[in-house]
């Protein structure tokens, strides 16, 4: 399968990347309810009435790995409204020399999915720009309710 993957490197240590990933409200969306930094914790994400999901944090390996399981999902813009349900989102953190690599793989988000274009654009924006900024500067650009990506703008038009 061609699972969706994005990666970037920063000069900050793995601990900074790990902390930022777990601060989901700081880089993905302020519309998150529930704990995002505890193994077994569950949180809800929503973007208007377009995307809602419930996610469980299934694995936290300090400074190395974060894994989420999508327990339930709803998209208003796909024929199969539950496309993400049962998929995993994996953040791997590694250090090579003076760089830390963050690699995010959404296992099960594949090109065959109807949401793939919108979802891959969203993840690329939120992970490589907002999460990266949160790690590097302490301030991400999470969604606060308004469209950020071109696909989000098209869905709300």
pLDDT band with cut points at 50, 70 and 90 for residue 104: very high
Total-model pTM:
0.94
Rounded Cα gap, residues 130 and 123, in angstroms: 10
| CATH superfamily of the domain spanning 4-156 | START domain (3.30.530.20)
pLDDT at 98 over 70: yes
Q: Is 55 exposed, middle or buried (0-12, 13-18, 19+ CB in 10 A)?
A: buried
| pLDDT higher than threshold 70 for residue 1 | no
DSSP-derived secondary structure letter, 62: T
Residue with tokens 């999460």: 131
Say how far residue 23 (Cα) sits from the centre of its chain. Answer: 11
Predicted confidence (pLDDT) per residue in 19-34, tens digit: 999 999 999 999 999 9
What average pLDDT does this structure show over 139-147? Answer: 86
d(CA 88, CA 141) in angstroms, rounded, equals 23
What's the Cα-to-Cα distance from 152 to each of 36, 77, 120, 134, rounded to whole Å?
Answer: 23, 11, 12, 21
| Every domain of the chain and the residues it spans | 4-156
């Amino acid at each position: 399968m061609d699972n969706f993957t994005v990666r970037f490197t920063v000069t900050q240590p793995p601990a900074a990347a790990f902390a930022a990933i777990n601060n989901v409200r700081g880089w993905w969306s302020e519309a998150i309810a529930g704990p995002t930094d505890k193994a077994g914790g569950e949180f809800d994400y929503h973007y208007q009435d377009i995307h809602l999901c419930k996610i469980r944090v299934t694995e936290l390996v300090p400074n190395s790995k974060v894994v989420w399981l999508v327990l339930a999902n709803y998209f208003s813009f796909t024929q199969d409204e539950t496309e993400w349900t049962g998929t995993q989102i994996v953040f791997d953190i590694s250090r090579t020399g003076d760089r830390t690599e963050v690699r995010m793989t959404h296992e099960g988000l594949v090109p065959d999915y109807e949401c793939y274009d919108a979802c891959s654009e969203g993840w690329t924006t939120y992970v490589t720009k907002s999460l990266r900024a949160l790690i590097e500067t302490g301030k991400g650009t999470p969604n606060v309710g308004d469209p950020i990506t071109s696909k989000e703008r098209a869905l709300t038009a």
